[in-house]
Structure 1
Amino acid sequence: MSSATLLTTASAHLVTVLFACCYVGSIYVSQNARLSFKPAASQARQSRYERSRDDPDVIKARLVSVSIATFICCAGVFAMMWHSLGGNMEHPSSAFDITVAHLGFKLSPIYPLLVTPLLFLGPLYGRYLAEALPLQRYWTFKHDVVFFFLSIRGIRNYIMAPITEEVVFRACVLTVYQLSGASKTRMIFLSPISFGAAHIHHAWDTYNRYGRTRTAAQRAVIGTLFQFAYTSMFGFYCAYLFLRTGSIIPPIVSHVFCNVMGIPQPGVEMSQTPNRKYAIAVAYSLGILAFVGTLGPWTYVADSLYW
């Protein structure tokens, strides 16, 4: 199979847009997955017809929708692989095996999984000072594991969203660009654009949640621009992890870890423990240095299909 001639660059762009539309559009297909809002004048009163993105029924419906969308995107990659083999396979499993290999459905060495925690050395030290790490005073298995991960919101935020988003926006999208003969640099910096754009629809939720006013619109625009920038930068990193390792596991683990940790807030941590502010600054600096130093050697996997 000559992957470099299977798709044109324009076709690759179109397919990645279709994948993004399939994933995001899936949450609007089902009536149960759609949001509904009351007029701003009646915000003070709860209505059984109001449904936010954190409504349990909405979450359940959306989990089903994105799972189906993820399967469809993977099936699309399989169809391209099957077509590349002429649609007449000697062995029925040939296209399936090639698809699995391109999507990175394989185990990963341990080292690539440790790079992201190194970057968060500062926030981890901040949690240590707050005694919120495992087995410390303010950590409990019931709250920080059972409720945090196994509640309906936890399943969405820390299990299903990282898995489905990485499979679609990393594995499927990068496979498409690889089949078009795109360079590694272009794959790293082009593929996350669709991932960032897929979060733009949250602006509608923000606009409605805050009353559909001019202020609400400004808040939605600013928040969406920040989210687009943040998710795109994160996408660059996860694309690099996927290409270097040839496995979808490191991007998924990194996504889960970042969702758990949230955005680093050194100012808040220093204000909470002012006597340790210099130690916090050192921890953040060491984390960045360790991340830069290990990013290349720790993520290299010799048998990566992409690197």
Structure 2
Amino acid sequence: MELTELIESSIDFPCLSGILGCLMLSVIYVGSLYVWRSPLDRDHPSVIKRRFFSVFVMTLFSPLSLYFGINEKFYEGATLWELLGIRWPGIIQAIIIPLCLTMVLFLGPLYMQGLNGLWRLYVEPTYWLGSAKTLVWWRNQIIAPLSEEWTFRACMLPLLLQCFAPSTAIFICPLFFGVAHFHHLVENTRRGMDFKTALLKSCFQFAYTTVFGAYAAFLFAKTGHFAAPFTAHSFCNHMGFPDLSEVVAYEDSLERAKLLLLFVIGLAAWCFLLTPMTNPSWFNNTLFWQKHITA
């Protein structure tokens, strides 16, 4: 057997090209944020606007990797839009159910917001109108979730699912997402943070973004809808990472115990409901989760 034949027989080129495509998307996505050289902070309006343009270009570019890297035999009969999770059947369920499921996970933080009076603020139209006037809100709640879920889930996961079982692909996919967040290391050092602290912060961010990325990938694979991880991502950005130090700071020991219990109940309920509330049949999804890799 010739060397080229040996290599071809030992390497699954569609899978290799899919993984390389995911890596390429990650590098280009992060690179697009820094193509504009500026000493200004990431929250400065001019920086945000430039990055909006960058991710807009990425949103147009990202599906090309899926278009050229997909195995048509594996997804026989599926359109590119369906692979990207853009379809009508099951769309309402894909918006509401994952959002409710994610809210269950944040049971403790949501209760804390109620204690702090934020729920009353949420019913005020002026709150949302004021938020919608700020570029930071648009970045955190709309543009970042949309562009990241589009690139790191909708355009990557179908490539991985043609090579790996869903239970494997949903843990590989977020690694690209988590590593991509290491670019905050550069921004934190620019702000004057010492390198060691910035590195530790970035490692922590890598950990929780990878965990969330696995959850988002799970939602995409189970529902077959882009809307599912997008709504969950936007909600998580709104809530932020749960602040347990605020719970510990409560002077009332009974209230503190109640809050900690709600955190635990929320996590336990989320784990219990995760599989039944993402039944693919509820979302008319026969594209991803039921697929099996054949030899």
Q: TM-score range by the shorter chain?
A: 0.7 to 0.9
Give the structure 1 partner of residue 79 of structure 2: 98
Give the TM-score, by structure 2 length.
0.84
Matched ranges for 1:119-138 at <5 A: 119-134=105-120
* Deviation string, structure 1 residues 147-181 (Cα, Å, up to 9, x no partner): 334410100011000011001001111011123x2
Give the structure 2 partner of residue 76 of structure 1: 65
After the TM superposition, which parts of structure 1 deviate over 6 Å for at least 4 consecutive aligned residues? none
Match of 2:224 among 242, 246, 260: 246
Match of 1:226 among 204, 209, 221: 204
* Deviation string, structure 1 residues 241-295 (Cα, Å, up to 9, x no partner): 1111111111111101110001112331352462511221222122112211210
Matched ranges for 1:1-307 at <5 A: 8-29=14-35, 31=36, 34-36=37-39, 51-80=40-69, 84=72, 98-106=79-87, 107-109=91-93, 110-134=96-120, 140-143=124-127, 145-179=128-162, 181-210=163-192, 216-272=194-250, 274=252, 275-302=254-281, 303-304=284-285, 305-307=287-289
SS in 2 for 1:206: helix
Structure-2 separation of matches of 1:6 and 1:105: 28
Give the structure 1 partner of residue 6 of structure 2: none
Structure 2: runs of 5 or more not aligned: 1-10, 290-295
Structure-2 separation of matches of 1:284 and 1:196: 24
Alignment CA distance shift 1:129-1:63 (3 Å): same
Asked if the contact 2:250/2:256 (under 8 Å) is kept, the reply is no
Give the TM-score, by structure 1 length.
0.81
Asked if the contact 2:222/2:280 (under 8 Å) is kept, the reply is yes
Structure 1: runs of 5 or more not aligned: 37-50, 86-94
Structure-2 separation of matches of 1:277 and 1:263: 18
Structure-2 separation of matches of 1:198 and 1:26: 12
Q: Which amino acid aligns with 1:197?
A: V
SS in 2 for 1:199: helix
Asked if the contact 2:21/2:65 (under 8 Å) is kept, the reply is no
Asked if the contact 1:108/1:249 (under 8 Å) is kept, the reply is no
Superposition deviation, residue 6 in structure 1: 8.9
Asked if the contact 1:127/1:133 (under 8 Å) is kept, the reply is yes
Structure-2 separation of matches of 1:164 and 1:6: 29
Q: How many residues align?
A: 269
Identity %: 32
Note the aligned Cα RMSD (angstroms): 2.4
